[in-house]
Structure 1
């Protein structure tokens, strides 16, 4: 019995679960820096990309989806259904104060397939950005006494995508991705005057919902240097967009705090007015060298033009640059008698500066990644484990240092594409 129909049915069922979990309530980050802009930008970390730090602009695979460059889809030789769960463990340090936590959530799912020898396709769902923070601080005013400031935020933007890759000449492929972006961003700011009965407390609740379409492009060039070595170069370009949305804002004064709040007056109410969220154009470059059934090395560079976008708050947007170095130990897929020779090992190291600049300080992020892909016995499908260690910001200059230890558990189910049976 063929697995193709089973995979397709399972995918359609899983996509419904995935859509529900994305829309209704995943808490996927606890970063104070997600307060700004559209939140924490998610890397394109599918199962094959996670262990190499999100690299993949110059990566080809015959059985894994590569979200980093749609032009790579022409290398697909079989159906690939994949899904992953991610667990983020974090610690934030500010001065002598520390906070810790954990979020476990659905990361992505996709279904990829070769349509023709020269055409590959994938579609699925993944987060573009996430927002999750809850913090407060106090200050003393000589006239008003102690004042508490509280900030709460949640939500994010999700991406449902369809990507196509086409061979257009010998060794040259082109791809494009069409994405439907949707989601909601909720933010609330509260100011409470604790030492005076004459001042009213203030609550500012703001919600933006967006839904729009975006596009990105990719090119790859593959050249055999010898029977063993292959060179791949890749370029990607995200055209950026102005996402259409609706904004609702409610500013009210109140007395009391927590469960005993009594609202007194509404100073501003905006109901679902038209607004937009601007996304920058991004260019990515990648090169790789691969030795057949031995190893592969890749370098990626990305630049997102955030400086062209005006922020709403006191923060400053700057161009975000990312550098990634990746190394993979490749399997011998024909070594069925030796299981360990069929395992893929992945390593990655990355550096980037966030698009947010605070207190005249850029936010730097350093990361290292490890991944291992374990094939099922007597099968071409596999189970992927990934580990990621990140540090963002610093515990000085009025910033917060965030440390993350993230785990990824993914499964990729492969099947041959419409093989005709032969009978004697």
Structure 2
């Protein structure tokens, strides 16, 4: 049954990811798009909290959590192999001082596998890093469309992780990430005659950047029982800044636009000579990132923690686009959250074995537009529903919801009020069970 659920889940979100934009945020116009949350549905349902480590969930944000020791539930033989896949759907209300609109987007969020090898753990998978998806228009004094902007694409991350348990409470790990993807955008400038009627042909500029490069992320995790019932967990991760390659193309076209369907038809096209200005091959600097946090709880009962993340977004640079009217400053995020399990080993009540999660986050995205800082706030909650068998009881389906807002209506900017629904499967199996003979 679980295998069938996995196939259905992958197929569903593969279809959704091709059928719709992976984001619908006008703020993805800037830089290389809006940053995607690098974490599981379980993390997101706790306000983005990622300091908690257990033996049945994959934690993408800290490679140290892949390391561990054997667990008593499996006769001290092994930790389980963990497989997880997740996706999300977002409904967003875009609001300015004069108008409102609604947009929707669906996306594949991650696919990963974690394999225990004694105290060592190895993980690998795929997840999006940034997303671009916008359709914007500006108007002239006569109320006609002046400029139309459109963009799509984003940066993806394939990762290979290693974590090792150094002592009973301390683990260390490292991620090796390969970043790849492309960003495409176009700008149409509309021209009108003296009667404010659009000309037969309009001008369009198109840009495409194909991105690729490597970066790493290192992590530490520490846990210790501080009383007979309470456990302390703390974590730290650091990603140094890195440069990724960008192969760029630019073209200018005269086009006609079907007034009924909006379809664009090219009349003539000229390819720009970016090599003459040294812009055909450039580099994009990904900023460094530091995260640390701590929390306490009763094992398999409850946990509450806080985590702070800072990112040197002021380091970001992309020489291909230098006049976007924006400034990047250092970004930060404060996450608070936790979970509660009424009775994890209850045989009489299914709902007593459900994990209940909640959290909130406050984020300064590091983006300043027209001297306005773009901030984000979210409050989240979710549940982990057991779907395992008697032999492997720890698999679960995770549902998460987040309500929040990004941006502001000041300075004629756009405020996004969003509702996110997230769904994942976290499946566990035993690949290294010892044979037993009577």
Same fold (TM over 0.5): yes
Residues 1:300 and 2:314 are matched in the alignment: no
* 1:113-162 deviation digits (Å, cap 9, x = unpaired): 2111x111221111100000011121138xxx966100000000011111
- Cα deviation, residue 98, structure 1: 1.2
| 8 Å CA contact retained: 1:15, 1:124 | no
Tell me which of 51, 67, 71 is aligned to 1:74.
67
Check whether the contact 1:74–1:119 (CA below 8 A) recurs between aligned residues.
yes
Give the match for residue 292 of structure 2. 285
Quote how far apart the aligned CAs of 1:22 are: 10
Contact 2:255–2:264, Cα closer than 8 Å, also in 1: no
TM-score if structure 1 supplies the norm length? 0.89
User: Secondary structure of 1:140's match?
Assistant: coil
Deviating more after overlay: 377-386 vs 40-49: 377-386
Give distance in 1, aligned partners of 2:264 and 2:430: 62
**Deviation, structure 1 residue 409:** 1.3
Question: 2:272 maps to which residue?
Answer: 268
| Alignment match of 1:398 (pick from 397, 409, 412) | 412
Q: 1:303-336, CA deviations, whole angstroms, 9 ceiling, x for partnerless residues?
A: 1101123452221001110000012103533223
CA separation of 1:253 and 1:282: change in aligned 2, threshold 3 A:
same
Q: CA shift at 1:47, angstroms?
A: 3.0
Gaps of 5+ in 2: 70-78
Structure 1: state its 5+ residue gaps: none
1:82 positional shift: 1.2
CA RMSD of aligned residues (A): 2.9
Among 55, 66, 78, the alignment partner of 1:62 is: 55
1:52 is displaced (CA, Å) by 0.9
Match among 362, 368, 373 for residue 373 of structure 2: 362
User: How far apart in 2 are the matches of 1:10 and 1:125?
Assistant: 20
**TM-score, normalising length from structure 2?**
0.86
Give the Cα separation in 1 of the matches to 2:203 and 2:317. Answer: 26
**Retained in 2: the 8 A contact 1:231–1:289?**
yes
CA distance in 1 between partners of 2:400 and 2:103 (Å): 19
Q: Find the partner of 2:97 among 95, 98, 104.
A: 95
Q: Please say if 1:48 is aligned against 2:38.
A: no
The 3 A distance-change label for structure 1 pair 163 and 19 is farther
| Cα pair distance change 1:260/1:402, threshold 3 Å | closer
Q: Report the Cα offset of residue 172 of structure 1.
A: 1.2
Structure 2 counterparts to residues 141-290 of structure 1, below 5 A = 148-196=146-194, 201-254=202-255, 258-259=262-263, 261=265, 263-264=267-268, 266=270, 268-270=272-274, 273-290=280-297
How many angstroms apart in 2 are the aligned matches of 1:61 and 1:164? 16
More strand by share: 1
User: In structure 2, do the counterparts of structure 1 residues 343 and 18 end up closer, same or farther at CA, with 3 Å as the change threshold?
Assistant: closer
Aligned to 2:316: 309
2:425 maps to which of 411, 418, 421: 411
